[in-house]
Homo-oligomer: A and B are copies of this chain.
């Protein structure tokens, strides 16, 4: 999960240094800058980078993800960043503070790229996104990705499609130069935001089985195949309640929940993590972008026979001032009418609809239910038929 530039408290270093102190009060010892190099299951010890060995009774792997790097010459030059950890955000902020940064390049058009484009434009930095495809955020329907693209352009973000990056070099007028199939471009910082993969190095060393997703396999108690080793967060799998499969969706709220479940079970209680439905969202400038459940492609993969419909409507009653366009796509199974997924984009009301539909997915509701859900209607908040109803009933008729 990204840390928002706006999120990071002023004295970041003091904050980091204070963390162990804060935890000590609760009887927990926190070591920072202490990379675990090896787990020795025979002695029940972990060895940290400086050689020190620490004993454990129970081990929790919360190793997170590693940002993918493109693997091009010069990608390790100063001024080339990834954004995964809190300290990445601290480093980026320090860089922006230290040197007058006028131009930035973001490689990748996922939600980290979108959020960072907004953050950089808010600092008045000239921002360019290089993307290997034609549209940003391909988890969403192309019609919605097009809206996101327009929002980027409306805020003067330069979006370069079909881009291949080849090398990073020292720049002339700016600190860096990026060589691409479209020629060269200079910038004062380059953010590599091309994705992440679960960090399973330690898990592999221990010999823990990984799931098909490449993340660590766990059960509903967040336990791995070893009685005393748990895994939580971005490095672990989650049960997807719609597809019925174990997946890896690295998001902060899932990590939080899994941490609580592991902690409770280790502490002698019992708690299960009942799974996810794939709800996610991001904000880019004035746009809410959200999705839940399965895309059509994922639904077909999972063995469903998906049908989808995308409808544009209003976030609030048409008669109210400040009305704004909202798009909703629903995906359902042709055979059973079961809701499988949803996507929404709009200046307001997108996340709200997706959360309502996430509860519907959680419960396994069909279009017959979704088309008649009783929602809290008042003109400032929706039409008397909400876009949820209209879209569900339209899709139902089409199936």
Contacts and interface: CB of A to CB of B under 8 A. Distances in A.
A152 interface: no
A156 interface: no
A276 interface: yes
Interface stretch (A94-102, A178-186, A222-230, A288-296): A288-296
Contact of A359 (B288, B360, B379): B360
A380 to B, nearest CB: 4
A20 interface: no
B369 A363 contact: yes
Contact of A357 (B321, B354, B359, B381): B359
Contact of A253 (B357, B380, B384): B384
Interface string A336-376: 00000000000000011011111110111100110011111
Most chain-B CB neighbours within 10 Å: which of A241, A277, A288, A381? A381
Contacts of A291: 376
B252 A377 contact: yes
A355 B369 contact: no
Contact of A277 (B283, B360, B374, B386): B374
A279 interface: yes
A89 to B, nearest CB: 12
Contact of A381 (B276, B283, B374, B385): B283
- The 3 tightest CB contacts between A and B, nearest first, are A363-B363, A281-B376, A253-B377
Contacts of A362: 360, 363, 365, 369, 373-374
A346 to B, nearest CB: 13
A268 interface: no
A280 interface: yes
Most chain-B CB neighbours within 10 Å: which of A4, A273, A278, A376? A376
A353 B359 CA distance: 11
Contacts of A359: 356-357, 359-360, 363, 365, 373
A385 B138 CA distance: 27
Nearest to A363: B363
A303 interface: no
B358 A292 contact: no
Nearest to A274: B372
Contact of A377 (B251, B378, B386): B251
A351 B376 contact: yes
12 contacts: A4-B319, A4-B320, A6-B319, A7-B317, A253-B374, A257-B372, A273-B372, A275-B374, A279-B377, A282-B378, A358-B374, A359-B373
A87 interface: no
A86 to B, nearest CB: 12
A19 interface: no
Contacts of A363: 359-360, 362-365, 369
Contacts of A7: 317, 319-320, 379
B352 A283 contact: no
A32 B276 CA distance: 53
A380 B379 CA distance: 24
Given A355-B355, A355-B356, A363-B359, A376 B319 contact: no
A205 interface: no
A256 interface: yes
A138 B323 CA distance: 30
A87 to B, nearest CB: 16
